[in-house]
Amino acid sequence: MWAEGFLTALQPLNLLYLVAGTAFGMLIGALPGLGPLFGVALMLPLTFGMPAATAIIFLTAVHAATAYGDSFASIMINAPGGVGSVASCWDGHPMAQKGQAGVAMGISTFGSFIGGVAGWISLVALSPLLIWVAVHMGPPEYFMVAVMALSLLALASEGQLLKGLALGGIGLLLSFVGRDPITAESRFTLGWDYLEDGLPLAAVVLGLFALSQAIVLAQQEGSISQLRRTGNVWEGFVKVLALPATIARASAVGIFMGVLPALGLSSANVVAYFVEKRAAKDPENFGRGDPRGLLAPEIAKNACIVGDLIPTFTLGIPGSSVTAIFLAAMIMHGLQPGAEFFSRSGALPYTVFAGILFAQVSFFVMGLLFARQFAKAVLIPNAILVPIIVALSFIASLALRGMLEDVLVTFVFGILGYIMSVYRYPAACLVLGLVLGDLVEANFHRSLLIGRGSYTIFFTRPFSLLLLLLTILMLLWPYRKTLLGRGQSPAGAVP
């Protein structure tokens, strides 16, 4: 079956669409704010006339390449290519500023490839186990996962714990704007219909990072890389190979976040970044162009998007909006997701799986060809680059929902992001709160509904209790020596 699947995926028509999907995905990804959801949704109608396997392979190529291409804008101009590559800005862009744009592109290209392959291996080999875990996770467990992710706020605050917690709170409060996830009651919309669906994450992120960066760049003469050099892409490959622990950690985070429905791309990269920072012996180097700070989110992002496909193919449960489109594509082409997909479709599942692997190879090869050219963006004079960043940010905000109000949101958050960058407020905390708010609140209330109002539901379910204990352990870890009476707490530990 596997050989047949690989041979079918290697047919010229499939390869042609694989390359076309990759090229298109990289183009979409390179535009700030436009991520995999935009790319895959845009391409879905084009698959009507294609054979089923070709259609899924094409969409997979678009999906993988868009996620990879998202990092271009993050690294070069500090404007997140999509919500899945916010964390790539934090160390990727400082590398570009230090004249290592090519190295950063190398790390991104190789890291994304490794993440994609790790996700693919999990899809092929670990599906049954991961699905078992996923089906045993209910609202209390999701709540605990979100709380665990929120515990990273302390780390995201970069030594300014109170400011970080306050900004995390603001992020959470912003995520509460719109309809309540349980009662559907409107909250904090001030009667404005636009806010009924909540604040658009992509527009907020574009403002916080891209527009604020445009204001910063406008005040500087010259170009992003004052050193007028970009470094070598291959150097990035070497750096990746020297970080096996980062690869393992980020792959695990990406796959885990991908498999669990609702924990998707937007949180995987941010969580992987902070998990890596927590594991580092020198966390103070993060945010200053540390290769680990770029590699971790890159791997997690691409592992997540493949991991995301596991529940979609095996259970027929889309883990995110993008995989919901995949589900639609499968049904549109007469495929039944779930167990029947494997039992009644012959070699087709294996063709699709082979296509997913080839999609990773395809963007990797194209990335190798073009990474160096993209890296040269850091040499463009700031006076020319600034209006490009602003125009791309505005059009990306517009493109997502076609609403001018989204551009206004981007503009307002641009001002906020700039003030935060000037006064060294950790904007990452706000993003973390905004990304996790809905997950925390909805699953808390769902848990209480299941537990008939009793809070014991969080402690009586084994997975939930395990996650709670892990969170407590993570919070106490920096103080272990003090608690055990063997020394001082670490200097960098928060009060």
Partner 1 sequence: MERGKVDLGAALLPLVTAGFAAALLFFSRENNPTAALFPRVVGVATLAFVLLDLIINRTGIRHAAPPEGRASGGRLPAWGIPLALQAVYLALIYVIGFSLATFVFLLLCPLVLGYRRPAVVAAHAVLFTAVLVFTFQSVFHIRLPKGLIGFPW
CB of 67 to partner 1, least distance (A): 18
Residue 386 interacts with partner 1 (CB under 8 A): yes or no: yes
Which among 56, 63, 109, 115 has a CA at the least distance from the CA of 365? 109
| Minimum CB distance to partner 1 smaller for 273 or for 418 | 418
Q: How far is the CB of 174 from partner 1 (least distance, A)?
A: 8
Provide, rounded to whole angstroms, the least separation between the CB of residue 10 and partner 1. 29
Q: Minimum CB separation from partner 1 for residue 85, in Å?
A: 20
Shortest distance, position 231 Cβ to partner 1, whole Å = 26
Whole-angstrom CA distances from 55 to 313, 327, 437 are 15, 12, 35
We find the least distance from the C-beta atom of residue 215 to partner 1, in angstroms, to be 5
- Which of residues 399 and 465 has its CB atom nearest to partner 1 in the complex? 399
Q: Is residue 333 involved in binding partner 1 (CB under 8 A)? A: no
329 is a site residue for partner 1 (CB under 8 A)? no
Residue 162 near partner 1 by CB under 8 A: yes
Q: Residues 414, 214: contact at Cβ < 8 Å?
A: yes
CB of 358 or CB of 394, closer to partner 1:
394
Tokens of 341: 């997909």
The answer to the question of residue 465 lying near partner 1 (CB under 8 A) is: no
Give the residue, chosen from 407, 409, 432, 457, that forms a contact with partner 1 under the rule CB under 8 A: 407
Judged by beta carbon, residue 241 or residue 391, the one nearer partner 1 is: 391
Cβ count near 3 (within 10 Å): 10
What's the rounded Cα separation, in Å, for the pair 140 and 257? Answer: 16
- 435-464 burial string, b = 16+ CB within 10 Å, else e? bbbbbbbbbbbbbbeebeeeeebbeebeeb
Torsion of CA 274, 171, 136, 297, to 10 degrees: -30
Counting residues that bind partner 1 (by CB under 8 A) gives: 56
Contact between 394 and partner 1 per CB under 8 A: yes
As beta bridge partners, residue 187 has: 178
For partner 1, give the closer residue by CB, 214 or 467: 214
| Closest approach of partner 1 to the CB of residue 77, in Å | 14
Note whether 138 binds partner 1 by CB under 8 A. no
Smallest distance, Å, CB 115 to partner 1? 27
Q: Is 395 an interacting residue with respect to partner 1 (CB under 8 A)?
A: yes
Using CA atoms, how far residue 143 sits from 244, 293, 320, 434, 451, in Å, is 31, 26, 17, 15, 14
Question: 354 vs 416, which CB is nearer to partner 1?
Answer: 416
Is residue 422 within the footprint of partner 1 (CB under 8 A)?
yes
- Which of residues 20 and 42 has its CB atom nearest to partner 1 in the complex? 42
The residue assigned the tokens 């991991």 is 307
| Rounded CA separation 320/147 (Å) | 20
Q: Which residue has the tokens 């892990």?
A: 470
Tokens of 315: 């259970």
Q: Contact between 59 and partner 1 (CB under 8 A)? A: no
Q: Which is nearer to partner 1, 315 or 442 (CB)?
A: 442
Compose the 428-447 pattern: x for residues touching partner 1 by CB under 8 A, - for all others. Answer: ------------xx--xx--
Q: What is the DSSP string of 194-222?
A: GGGG---HHHHHIIIIIIHHHHHHHTS-S
Residue 8 · residue 347 · CB < 8 Å? yes
Which of 55, 154, 294, 420 is in the footprint of partner 1 by CB under 8 A? 420
Does 469 contact partner 1 by CB under 8 A? Answer: no
C-alpha R_g of the chain: 22
Helix (H) or strand (E) holding 58: helix 52-77
Residue 193 contacts partner 1 per CB under 8 A: no
Segment 194 to 223, residues that bind partner 1, using CB under 8 A? 211, 214-215, 218-219, 221
Q: Report the alpha-carbon distance of residue 274 to residue 137 in Å, rounded.
A: 23
**Out of 19, 170, 361, 379, the residue judged to bind partner 1 by CB under 8 A:** 170
Of 68, 66, 74, nearest to 39 (Cα)?
66
Contact between 382 and partner 1 (CB under 8 A)?
yes
Single out the residue of 383, 466, 469, 476 in contact with partner 1 (rule: CB under 8 A): 383
CA-based nearest residue to 295, from 326, 355, 254, 337: 254
Q: Name every residue whose Cβ is closer than 8 Å to that of residue 63 and which is 6 or more positions away in sequence.
A: 25, 36, 39, 40, 305, 322, 326, 359
Distance (Å, whole) CA 411 – CA 286: 28
User: 108, 91 in Cβ contact below 8 A?
Assistant: no
Does the CA dihedral 121-125-127-132 come out positive or negative? negative
Q: Which residues bind partner 1 (CB under 8 A)?
A: 42, 162-163, 165-167, 169-170, 172-173, 176, 180, 182-183, 185, 187-188, 190, 211, 214-215, 218-219, 221, 381-384, 386-388, 390-392, 394-395, 398-399, 402, 404, 407-408, 411, 414-416, 418-420, 422-423, 425, 440-441, 444-445
